[in-house]
Structure 1
């Protein structure tokens, strides 16, 4: 039953909007079940009126009436199915957009809940046009047949009543016995498919490392457990269904026998013998159909519960006041992010402020929380404590679509979608905005600024090259990174969050990236960039040093670097020195002793503590000056 108090639940709202369809479908079900009596009445009249009197004219009229009744029956059944189909389509039109927004938005849902939400919705929607819903609509009309059986003879009515109660009892027992098994296999199936999808995405790694046989064995073991559980449930359901079919056939035969006994005793007519069997069979048919479709019914119930719980979670799509275009003032206050399900912080009480037009480098050893910080600031990740404000308004107060159009975000592992390069760079705006010369100009401008234009033109179909749904979309790591950077730069956003944008770039690529940062500085964009290379530090205004999820130092670039250079190791912790052959290209800052910088704001560790900060722990530079990337 739909809770009327949950007005914000899109599923409940859509189901309420479909209520009229269900009411009319129920009314048509009543008429259909009344017309189901036509063959029984026809048989009764033939045996009682036509055969004894040899009334051919009566037989012709009765046959005509039966034909008309069955035609009306077929039309009503068609209309009922179309009503349910329209309800399914309306449910899709009303609920699917909001559910998809919730899946893609940040609403506190787990990855499993997001992955299952649309499958649950499709399963529930599909049930509305399947045999299970028809059986459920027919079941309430079974008492009509019991009453008519009683009108034929009280004993026949009693047999119909007891038969219905017996089959209903079996249906309830089947539900109790199989429900937990179905729920368990449903969870196992979702988890198994999720792991398989991840293995498919990582197939190249598995082949390269010789893991294919091991992964196949693992998946087969998981599938064996799943198949065993499904077999147990199917076996139990099959037993109950077979018992139901046996009882229905037996009870129909008993109705014939009882009718014959009553006819011998001249308590009913000969025609009533067969009518009793047909009517009893029709009274029991909905119960048998429900048992046959019990698996689908229980799966639909589980899907409804799971989807309702998902839709009750806070939504990032709720209407918000349209705030002005952000200028780029960011305030991070007491932000803490924990590992999901574990009380272990990735970020702990992080606080700092970025003024409009500033470029801030976030540095630190692997595992310090750099990527997590950028994800939280970009709005891709919910924080557990504290708040992040943009131009004085918390992220929760911003319309996420409006803010997102003014944010350029490049994750540590650039994600490109299976679509054309142009579509990826334009952020799929062609689906919600006119696709014309203005959009093309923005795409090309972003690609030029990222240094990707010439690269894209060398693709087989240029900007219309479709990226395949596989690792990297068919591009190398460096190509993927510059295309993702172009997407972040699309439409000149005021805020940019770049997570190791030079991780896969060569010397020329890093030089172009420095030029890009300089142009962003000129137009007043606020940029937060994480890096393991010191080459990018020449383009920034401030440096934020993270270690163990906490701010160690935050201040002007020159002051932080001077303090770090005077410390053991002579460099900023977590920022690997560039290779000897690219010092000039990356503009490496010379080392040299200098006084410690002045104290930072009280919300952070004092900048003077930088002199005591040791070099990166357990982080070794690799060829080209890279170190192991932040795993968070």
Structure 2
């Protein structure tokens, strides 16, 4: 009964969890942009979109609960049936004089004690399956994104960037968004990359920073591959302003110092001396 319970509800619970996660992500995204949604009158459409996902989650959750409830109640009915049968068998044996009434009652008690843990196991099987599914999801995530190993420290960069036949795509995508990128930027040069929406500018920026790995080719900083630098060592030399920005929890000084040691002398620019002419 426990195995049948899992097989009957596993697919529905997985789909319900997926719908719940998507609905939760949509709600969080909407909350971050609440002012835009309100100003542009998009609330009814967005609420309808979220409501559809949420109802899908509730529907599948309800179906899974109904199936699990039916199987759980079936197990309870079987337990009561077995207890009734053993009482009937005990009564028959007592009438035949093959056992005493006390033995009949003792047999009924033993049967109830033996079946109760099995009944509880079936009732608690759902929690076990949920815990196992969460462990599998975490294990898959940690396998796909392993922890970074500490690499050999490289010299401080001077600012010479070179891309050698780079092709890259967002994580999980097979089709490359950018292909055959070759260019170099010397120290002190300022380069602007322009193009239409979805041309691959953001992908190129993330590949330049080493946030996304390249499928083909290398991104080099002073001749070293960007991914071979330790992030805490290369980070202070990089300035990055993404499309969606926000201050992290802390003071302005802590954000500017990247939550390291706050040294006003280090992060401030001394005033320039101006020559006085008469």
Asked whether the two chains share a fold, i.e. TM above 0.5, the reply is: yes
Secondary structure of residue in 1 paired with 2:190 = strand
Gaps (5+ residues) in structure 1?
1-169, 430-438, 450-514, 516-632
Match of 1:327 among 146, 151, 158: 158
Residue aligning to 2:212: 381
1:320–1:174 distance in 2 versus 1, CA, 3 Å? same
After superposition, the Cα gap between the structure-2 partners of 1:256 and 1:423, relative to the gap in structure 1 and judged at 3 Å, is farther
Q: Give CA-to-partner distance per residue, 1:231-250, whole Å, 9 cap, x none.
A: 11111111111111222223
Q: CA deviation at 1:349?
A: 1.4
Pairwise mapping of residues 158-557 of structure 1 onto structure 2 (< 5 A)?
A: 170-338=1-169, 345-355=176-186, 357-367=187-197, 368-429=199-260, 439-442=261-264, 445-446=266-267, 448-449=268-269
- For residues 532-555 of structure 1, the C-alpha deviation after alignment (integer angstroms, 9 at most, x for no partner) is xxxxxxxxxxxxxxxxxxxxxxxx
Question: Which whole-Å CA distance do the structure 2 matches of 1:271 and 1:323 have between them?
Answer: 84
Deviations 1:410-436 (A, max 9, x none): 22332322443343333334xxxxxxx
Report the CA distance between 1:228 and its aligned residue: 1.1
**Which structure's CA Rg is the greater one?**
1
Native 8 Å contact 2:166 2:179 kept in 1: yes
User: 8 Å contact 1:320–1:399 — kept in the other structure?
Assistant: yes
Question: Over residues 253-285 of structure 1, what are the superposed CA-to-partner deviations in whole Å (9 max), with x where a residue is unaligned?
Answer: 333333343344454454433332333223222
Q: Aligned partners of 2:215 and 2:107: how far apart in 1?
A: 67
Rounded Cα–Cα distance in structure 2 between residues aligned with 1:364 and 1:227: 45
- Cα displacement (A) at 1:329: 3.3
What is the Cα deviation at residue 327 of structure 1? Answer: 3.4
Distance 1:378 1:321 in 2: 18
Alpha-carbon spacing, 1:276–1:396, altered in 2? closer, same or farther (3 Å): farther
* Aligned-pair CA distance for 1:209: 0.5
Q: Gapped runs of 5+ residues in structure 2?
A: 273-278
Report SS of the residue matched to 2:239: strand
User: Does the Cα contact within 8 Å between 1:317 and 1:400 map onto a contact in 2?
Assistant: no
Aligned length: 269
Distance 2:51 2:245 in 1: 32
Q: Shift of residue 328 of structure 1? A: 3.1
8 Å Cα contact 2:167-2:216 kept in structure 1: yes
> What are the Cα deviations for residues 545-583 of structure 1, in whole angstroms up to 9, with x where unaligned?
xxxxxxxxxxxxxxxxxxxxxxxxxxxxxxxxxxxxxxx
The structure-2 alpha-carbon separation of the partners of 1:181 and 1:413, relative to structure 1 and needing over 3 Å to count, comes to closer
TM-score (norm 2): 0.83
Name the SS for the 1:440 alignment partner: coil
Q: Encode CA deviations 1:303-342: one digit per residue, 9 max, x unaligned.
A: 2222222222252522322333333332211112235666
Q: Does the aligned pair in 2 maintain the 1:334–1:386 contact within 8 Å? A: yes
Shift in alpha-carbon separation, 1:229–1:423, aligned structure 2, 3 A: same
CA 1:327–1:290 in 2, change beyond 3 Å: closer, same or farther?
A: farther
Partner SS for 1:389: strand
8 A Cα contact 2:166 2:216, kept in partner: yes
Q: Structure 1, residues 479-518: CA drift from partner, whole Å, max 9, x if none?
A: xxxxxxxxxxxxxxxxxxxxxxxxxxxxxxxxxxxx9xxx
TM-score (norm 1): 0.39
Describe the SS at the equivalent of 1:410.
coil
Superposition CA RMSD, Å: 2.7
Distance 1:209 1:268, change over 3 A: same
